[in-house]
Structure 1
Amino acid sequence: MDVALAELLHDPDASMDQIARAAGVVRRTVYGHFPNREALIAALVDGATEAVIEAHAAGRAGVDDPAEALARSMLAVWDIADRYRLLVALAQRSVTMEGIKQRLTPVREDCVALLRRGQESGVFRSPVPAGALAYVHEQTLFGLMEAVNSGALDAADAGRAAARTALLSAGVGVEEAEGLLARVGS
């Protein structure tokens, strides 16, 4: 799987034969695990999704303040998203965005609960419902991945941009968001 990911990130059009050669196995071995290239990509996306779920949980762990939890979560998720951003672009061709969204449902549901808690406590002042904001934050990450892929944004700045955008869209003031980001780091 690691070799397949590396090969596909290096060459998004890498064939199963190329992946097998890079892994030091015959093509039949790869096909023994994955019936086709799309199944291999789907398995890689599943692995990336699990990593995102873990990063999201780790970023929020032990943090009571909803704004800080949101910022830390976005920073942690970006670290994973950055590693897999080219895979997401590739997966959009075969797994589809709908398939990716379905895989991210646990993270989205967790974000909805966090955003709702922040809105109820007055930390988040956005009039946009928590469920809609969770989609906005998810799409922000995808948009930032595209911005990095196209060269419009440096990957080193994208995690902070994701956290800042999430905080601002949730209704945290600019100065408050910047102060929070300065405290939690990038």
Structure 2
Amino acid sequence: MERVLSGQRASTVARELGVHPATLYRWVSETSRAATQSVSTDVRLMHATQALLRDHDYGQITVDEVARISGVALRTAFHHFESKRELFRAAVDNAATALTDAMRDRFRTVEWPAEPVLQVSLFLRLSAEAIYATPPAHVLFRDLGVPRSDSFAERWHSTFEDAVAQLLTNCSRDGSLDPQTDIPAAAQAITGAMRGIHAAVFDGCDSEQALRIVDRLHLTVLPG
């Protein structure tokens, strides 16, 4: 149960233990209810949604299942969230908020280098570390089975892309970036690559190997 609550896929843990994933979800639900009675109902529903999205896509999850895992009545769940879509959006926003807070903490305590190129590299590295240390963040990167145009995570990725573009603009101003570089396109490419790397990590790829790739990602648009 500790492994699932810390972010591991329930299906993987259940297979290793020789139990059905539904049984593991029930154990996690019972443990969570006993340990988090003071947690608000809406937060419990959002966390249950995030947990289910580790092994299922949007179309496979029902509000009834989320309510059952959260230990609340279906009527209560719909009292807090008018629809499945609203609950899903809230779960993604909750994960994005947790990740933003984690990134802010890391950025606040680090000493930023003066060179813009090194700032890009450090920004990508610290972001990746924060992402891997925030289990709910998987909902921002994995394919959840919703159309891209309807993906609630896009707002977070757009904000990240804007930050990368600003850092690349600083590189351009100090002459460390090829003047022919299309900055918006470069920022989009880096953000897309980061999304793919993070999705792989949440699907089981070794995070240390991923960080080694992230450390070199800025070299795709900047001089070494």
* TM bucket normalised to smaller: 0.7 to 0.9
Are 2:88 and 1:41 equivalent residues in the alignment?
Answer: yes
Give the number of the structure with larger relative contact order, counting CA–CA contacts within 8 Å between residues 6 or more apart.
1
Q: How does 1:114-153 map to 2 (within 5 A)?
A: 114-125=167-178, 127-148=180-201, 153=205
Residue 129 of structure 2: aligned partner:
79
Q: Which moved more, 1:51-60 or 1:102-111?
A: 51-60
Residue 6 of structure 2: aligned partner:
none
Tell me the distance in 2 between the aligned counterparts of 1:95 and 1:36.
Answer: 20
More helix by share: 1
RMSD: 2.9
The answer on whether the counterparts of 1:15 and 1:37 sit within 8 Å (CA) in structure 2 is yes
Structure 1 residue 24: Cα displacement: 1.3
The change in CA–CA distance for 1:156 and 1:75 in structure 2 (over 3 A counts) is same
Q: TM-score, normalised by structure 1?
A: 0.73
Residue 178 of structure 1: aligned partner:
none
Of all paired residues, the percent bearing the same amino acid is 21
Q: TM-score, normalised by structure 2?
A: 0.62
The change in CA–CA distance for 1:163 and 1:34 in structure 2 (over 3 A counts) is farther
Which deviations, in whole Å up to 9, do the C-alpha atoms of 1:3-41 show, x marking residues without a partner? 321232244433212211221111122222222222222
Which deviations, in whole Å up to 9, do the C-alpha atoms of 1:84-132 show, x marking residues without a partner? 2355334451674665333433332222111111122133447422211
Tell me the distance in 2 between the aligned counterparts of 1:26 and 1:95.
Answer: 32
Equivalenced residue count is: 171
The answer on whether the counterparts of 1:58 and 1:73 sit within 8 Å (CA) in structure 2 is no
Structure 1 residue 168: Cα displacement: 0.8
Q: Name the larger-Rg structure.
A: 2
Which deviations, in whole Å up to 9, do the C-alpha atoms of 1:149-179 show, x marking residues without a partner? 566x4233223312311x1122131xxxxxx
SS of 1:79's equivalent in the other structure is: helix
Structure 2: stretches of 5+ with no match in the other structure: 1-45
Counterpart residue identity of residue 53, structure 2: L
Q: How does 1:34-183 map to 2 (within 5 A)?
A: 34-55=81-102, 57=104, 60-61=107-108, 62-63=111-112, 64-82=114-132, 83=135, 84-86=137-139, 88-91=141-144, 93=146, 96=149, 99-125=152-178, 127-148=180-201, 153-165=205-217, 167-173=218-224
SS of 2:141's equivalent in the other structure is: helix
The answer on whether the counterparts of 2:124 and 2:215 sit within 8 Å (CA) in structure 1 is yes
